[in-house]
Each structure stands twice: as structure tokens, then as C-alpha cells.
Amino acid sequence: MPIYDYRCQDCNNTFEALVRGNHAPCCPECGGNHLEKLLSVPAPPVTHSEPQPCQPGGCGACRFN
């Protein structure tokens, strides 16, 4: 079930809505259904990597260079 960003054309409120099937969302502020679907950037994938230690002569940010 995707989450979409919308802007209400009646009251200019911007909000997110979880869309299920053919369900059409309405504005949580005014209850209007004249909505514009906004383009949104997908979230980057989450990685759980450990920080890597500096290499000899490396980054200059640590005292072990």
C-alpha cells in the first residue's frame, strides 16, 4: 500500500495519504476531494554498515594518520 503526497486545491493543505486499492483520499483539513497528487522522491534504501576505520595517511579527520 503506497503512501502518496497530495495538495488540496480547495484549502492548499499538503498531506500524505496511505492509498488502499481504488480508495480516493480526502483532505484531512477541509474534507475536500479536489486533490493534486504531488511528485515525491523515494526514500533511499536503509543500510546498516559499520563505519570503516581510516587508512594510514587517510582522511585527515583522525589522529591516527
Residue 46 burial class via C-beta count within 10 angstroms: exposed 0-12, middle 13-18, buried 19 and up: exposed
- pLDDT tens, position by position, 11-57: 999 999 988 888 889 999 999 999 999 987 777 776 766 666 666 66
Q: What is the pLDDT of residue 19?
A: 86
pTM over 0.85: no
DSSP 8-state class, residue 2: -
Tell me the torsion sign for CA atoms 56, 57, 58, 61. positive
Burial of 5 (0-12, 13-18, 19+ CB in 10 A): middle
